[in-house]
Amino acid sequence: MAVWLTVRQNRWGWPIGLVMVLLYGWIFYDVKLYSDMLLQGVYAGLQIYGWRQWTRGGARHAGRSVSRLDAKALSAGLAAGALGSLALGYLMATHTDAAQPWWDASLTAFSLVAQVWMAQKRLECWALWVLLDTLFVGLFCFKELYLTAALYGLFTLLAVQGWREWRRDPALRGAAA
């Protein structure tokens, strides 16, 4: 529900998303996907950040409009995801009994990048979500979390729809003109 509302640029997706990430934090703890569990905790903070950005962000504090990342911001976000993957993967591999420390850490780090971009209404968040959600499906199938894998399959389809809908946003077309 929260992702669908976000695709539709409905600000109520953020508080609904907060409830969802807290529930999934517990599930991931139970199956020892600690990076994903930590990710849900960070997502909780990002849900609040996104709510604030969509309701009070932007130059006039009236909420953000859809925009694109420039090459520098895109590169910086992807570099942050790569560095986060290495740091978190190392910590999970050496200090926990995580089931898939590197795979889980990489998906976690890049998901944070995608979530920040989404909170800022950056079109590129959806392309990154398509890739990440597809990889999450594989991870959750491997861990035999088939319902969660199916949910992430749905998230993949919603991310494709988000890309398509946000590309047609009048604010984005106006910025290109």
> pLDDT tens digit string along 81-123?
999 999 999 999 999 998 899 999 999 899 999 999 999 999 9
pLDDT digits (tens, 9 = 90+) for 4-19: 899 889 989 999 999 9
pLDDT of amino acid 174: 63
Neighbouring residues of 132: CB distance < 8 A, sequence distance ≥ 6:
107, 110, 111, 114
Q: Which amino acid is at 73?
A: A
34-90 pLDDT per residue, tens: 877 887 898 899 999 999 998 887 677 777 899 999 999 999 999 999 999 999 999
Q: Quick one: pLDDT at residue 157?
A: 97
pTM as predicted:
0.85
Side chain identity at residue 161, one-letter code: Q
Q: Average pLDDT in the 21-45 region?
A: 88
**3-state secondary structure (DSSP) of residue 92:** helix
Determine the 3-state secondary structure of 99 from DSSP.
Answer: coil
